């Protein structure tokens, strides 16, 4: 399978679909999740066409990977959860329950986010 350039985050990156932007630089865009699970719920995505952590680790340039990692901390600061604490989540593939096939990190905070994953 290859990258689907019709996915919703690709459309946001092309400006075809609006987003509520929190942060942007040459390599990264961050915007509020349309269906927030916590008071702060921001998605941090690379501008490059990578479906998941797997692909970016394999094919991403170091400068892109560094920018993404640094953007997570910048978004945490901008949304005022940096020092109170927050969670970073990236779902990968079918078992990871990834819905949008463009790499994204969820930044969740603004209050206790609860146990990491409910045990079955
Ligand atoms: P995943 O399950 O792939 O890790 O998470 C996808 C996330 O994207 C979900 O939290 C969902 O609410 C969010 N999302 C889906 N479509 C849109 C959209 O059009 N705009 C924004 N801002 N978020 C979206």
Per-residue pLDDT of 66-80, as tens digits, reads 999 999 999 999 999
Determine which helix (DSSP H) or strand (DSSP E) holds 106, and give its type and residue range.
Answer: strand 105-109
CB 67 within 8 A of CB 48: no
Where do we find the tokens 């079918």? 94
User: How far is 27 from 64, CA to CA, in rounded Å?
Assistant: 6
Q: What is the pLDDT of residue 119?
A: 83
Q: Is 31 in the pocket of ligand 1 (CB under 6 A)?
A: yes
Percent of all residues in the chain with a pLDDT value above 90, rounded to a whole number = 95
- Please give the number of the atom of ligand 1 that sits closest to the Cα of 104: 4
pTM of the predicted model as reported, rounded to 2 decimal places: 0.97
Look at ligand 1, atom 19, and give the residue with the nearest C-alpha.
8
Most ligand 1 atoms within 8 A of CB, residue of 9, 19, 34 to mutate: 34
In tens, the pLDDT along 82-94 reads 999 999 999 999 9
Rounded average pLDDT over 48-64: 98
Look at ligand 1, atom 5, and give the residue with the nearest C-alpha.
99
Look at ligand 1, atom 15, and give the residue with the nearest C-alpha.
34
Helices (H), the chain: 8-13, 53-59, 62-78
∠ at Cα 8 (20, 112), nearest 5°? Answer: 55
Determine which helix (DSSP H) or strand (DSSP E) holds 30, and give its type and residue range.
Answer: strand 28-32
Mean pLDDT of the chain: 97
Q: What is the pLDDT of residue 3?
A: 96
Where do we find the tokens 């609006």? 18
Structure tokens at 13: 């990156």
pLDDT band at 118 (very low <50, low <70, confident <90, very high): confident
Measured in Å, residue 83 CA sits from the centre of ligand 1 at 25
Domains and CATH numbers, the chain: 8-109 (3.30.428.10)
Most ligand 1 atoms within 8 A of CB, residue of 43, 95, 98, 106 to mutate: 43
Q: What is the pLDDT of residue 7?
A: 98
């Amino acid at each position: 399978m290859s990258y689907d350039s019709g996915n919703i985050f690709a459309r946001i990156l092309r400006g075809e679909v609006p987003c509520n932007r929190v942060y942007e630089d040459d390599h990264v865009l961050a915007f509020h999740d349309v269906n927030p699970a916590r008071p702060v719920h921001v998605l941090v995505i690379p501008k490059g066409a990578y479906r998941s952590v797997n692909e970016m680790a394999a094919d991403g340039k170091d400068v892109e990977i560094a920018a993404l990692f640094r953007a997570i901390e910048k978004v945490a600061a901008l949304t005022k959860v940096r020092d109170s604490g927050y969670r970073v989540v990236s779902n990968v593939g079918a078992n990871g329950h990834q819905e949008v096939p463009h790499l994204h990190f969820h930044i969740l905070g603004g209050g206790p986010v609860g146990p990491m994953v409910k045990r079955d």
